[in-house]
Structure 1
């Protein structure tokens, strides 16, 4: 359970870091604002169209009597919007990181320098880094989509669908949010997606302690934009913890 608190601690420390370094915080808002405008439009459209989608998907229920018809379609409408919101929370980070790739990588490097005195560099050109980030994000989103479909189906299970399934959804969201964010620091260290996933699986509670509170916060409008710079900073601290890298203040002095 200690890892849960440690993960939350990295998230808080990351937010404090960007507040103390106001220039990085200010510049980090722009990619998030651009992505937020795009996603807000998509969610508004989904909100207006969810009813029609539920009607289209359940033609077999047209002759059902009240209240079963309304119960089925209202439940499906809620699940469709929840599914869209779930995907929005997951993909928001990936899209924002792609939009702000050069900045967020520089921010992560600055945190590394502050903590460890040096910042690992991938040595790859920007176009190559963008390609790797986009490719890995698609692979992660495929995994997320599989979980989302499973959770969507389980949402129809009485009681568990309204209690356990949302909890699992938040855990899945938080886990993959943490993966996307730590990828900024871990890719600079030459770690491929398979290696990163194996590293995260080794300390699941640490990852959930970081990602679940962040995922919950991202559900609040505009909060994701303001937390994004600090989330990248905190994820760099999280990556250093996963790799066992010591901070400057904890490194013992060299022997004379």
Structure 2
């Protein structure tokens, strides 16, 4: 029951992000700009993928030339559909990471304003931009590597009759949603001096909340226009969740209290 409550609590934090943005429309517009830029880039990429999917399928199946025309045409048409669907899924998974990378100064400021509205804002020594940007890119690539590690086997399992149309899509959505939370929570957690390994540990402790939050984000991000509108709210909701749920749970966990340098708790004042 605790995991179920945490899951629905994660959904609640996403909705709290929308509520915060509704109370601060100026910050919603501020956070909208990078999402719009990313969306334009993705729309052009997806148009190219849709219009050239048949050519890509043809390029990938030279071995099918000896098949009968009906089987060859059907197989390539199915592969073209799979390529488009896979592209849409990849776009949903990477949308947050690319938007955060493009709009890092925007979302850092937005996340900081969310923290300010709840009380004390954590202060850490910022690295210069020429260190922060390569680290952000490296962190996003590591996260993408984890996503692909799970997604590629799930992609092929999707062709299994019945299982591929029922259980596998649910598992794929859970995996994608969890790693979306990883990306969205990064802004707030980095501000508290947490590097990648510690962020993963903290999210592991609150896995239920991370999954609930990420599933809603994933569903929102697979719809292009909704993704643009929802991005600022997702960043705000992630900041609220980090402050109110993830950090308190992480600081109460045995692995936090036993790790080196854990004597000074991170700021989680959530009045």
Evaluate the alpha carbon distance shift between residue 209 and residue 202 of structure 1 in structure 2; reply closer, same or farther with a 3 A threshold.
Answer: same
Is the counterpart of residue 21 in structure 1 residue 24 in structure 2?
yes
Which residue of 1 is the match for residue 60 of structure 2? 57
Which residue of 2 is the match for residue 119 of structure 1? 122
CA distance in 2, matches of 1:86, 1:120: 36
Is the counterpart of residue 243 in structure 1 residue 247 in structure 2?
yes
Residue ranges of structure 2 left out of the alignment (5+ in a row): 249-267
Q: Deviation per CA, 1:85-108: give whole Å up to 9, x if none.
A: 121112111111111111111111
More deviation, 118-127/236-245:
118-127
Q: Is the contact made by 1:31 and 1:96 (CA closer than 8 Å) also made in structure 2? A: yes
Residue ranges of structure 1 left out of the alignment (5+ in a row): 249-256
Evaluate the alpha carbon distance shift between residue 161 and residue 122 of structure 1 in structure 2; reply closer, same or farther with a 3 A threshold.
Answer: farther
Q: CA deviation at 1:127?
A: 3.0
Q: Deviation per CA, 1:99-135: give whole Å up to 9, x if none.
A: 1111111111111121133333342223322222111
Evaluate the alpha carbon distance shift between residue 122 and residue 169 of structure 1 in structure 2; reply closer, same or farther with a 3 A threshold.
Answer: farther
Question: What does residue range 1-256 of structure 1 map to in structure 2 within 5 Å?
Answer: 1-65=4-68, 68-240=71-243, 241-244=245-248, 245-248=268-271
Q: Is the contact made by 1:79 and 1:155 (CA closer than 8 Å) also made in structure 2? A: no
Evaluate the alpha carbon distance shift between residue 105 and residue 13 of structure 1 in structure 2; reply closer, same or farther with a 3 A threshold.
Answer: same
| TM-score normalised by length of structure 1 | 0.91
CA distance in 1, matches of 2:232, 2:21: 7
Task: Give the secondary structure class of the aligned counterpart of 2:66.
Answer: coil
Which residue of 2 is the match for residue 253 of structure 1? none
Evaluate the alpha carbon distance shift between residue 42 and residue 148 of structure 1 in structure 2; reply closer, same or farther with a 3 A threshold.
Answer: same
Q: Is the contact made by 1:111 and 1:233 (CA closer than 8 Å) also made in structure 2? A: yes
CA distance in 2, matches of 1:227, 1:127: 29
Task: Give the secondary structure class of the aligned counterpart of 1:180.
Answer: helix
Task: Give the secondary structure class of the aligned counterpart of 2:160.
Answer: coil
**Pairwise CA RMSD of aligned residues?**
1.7
Task: Give the secondary structure class of the aligned counterpart of 1:228.
Answer: helix
Task: Give the secondary structure class of the aligned counterpart of 2:136.
Answer: helix
CA distance in 2, matches of 1:166, 1:51: 24
